[in-house]
Structure 1
Amino acid sequence: MTLPEMIYLHSLKLPDAAAREALDFIEFLEQRYGLEQVAIQHRIQRKAGSAKGVFQIIEDDENHLTDFKEYMP
């Protein structure tokens, strides 16, 4: 078992407040060792319009239209 897996398994046993504290400490360590920017660089960059054609707006449904009114021309 890897060290990250062990940390994860132990984190599952913690109450929410303690898990939040553990996360805060990990984020502090990332900042201290300059790892925070490395993590940000590895994020996948989203492209505008990448979900085009995935969602459809049903024009016959008035409730549906009002939900998306701010996005419609």
Structure 2
Amino acid sequence: MSLAEVIYAHSLRLPEPVAREALAYIEGLEDRYGVALPAVADPQDTDRFLAAVFGGLSDDFPDDIADDDLGLDAPRQALDECRTCST
């Protein structure tokens, strides 16, 4: 278990006000030591993820799914009418 995971496990047992105090302390340490905030997600992350798991599906998973294979959605009007029905 990494140190961050140990800290996290301990933080779960703290009452909310004390957890906020611990967070403020950690943020103070980040400021003191110049630790940068996590970078904004890269738009290419999805492409990298898909490339990493490509081929991870079983051989019998269909690779030719078309719109005809999908079920029909209920018309929006029918859903709206259902909300106004008396029960």
TM range (shorter): 0.5 to 0.7
Give the superposition deviation at 1:33.
Answer: 0.2
1:39 correspondence with 2:31 = no
Aligned position for 1:23: 23
User: Of the two, which has the highest radius of gyration?
Assistant: 2
Secondary structure at 1:39 match in 2 = coil
Gaps of 5+ in 2: 44-75, 81-87
1:12 correspondence with 2:9 = no
In the TM superposition, structure 1's runs of 4+ consecutive aligned residues that sit over 2 Å from their partners are none
Q: Which amino acid is the alignment partner of residue 43 of structure 1?
A: V
Gaps of 5+ in 1: 47-58, 62-73
Q: Percent same amino acid among aligned pairs?
A: 50
Return the alpha-carbon distance in structure 2 between the equivalents of residues 3 and 9 of structure 1.
Answer: 10
Aligned residue pair count? 47
In the TM superposition, what whole-angstrom CA distance separates every residue of 1:34-63 from its partner, at most 9, and x where no partner exists? 00xx224x12267xxxxxxxxxxxx977xx
CA RMSD across the alignment: 2.0
Give the superposition deviation at 1:16.
Answer: 0.3
Aligned position for 2:51: none
Secondary structure at 2:37 match in 1 = helix
Secondary structure at 1:44 match in 2 = coil
Return the alpha-carbon distance in structure 2 between the equivalents of residues 45 and 39 of structure 1.
Answer: 14
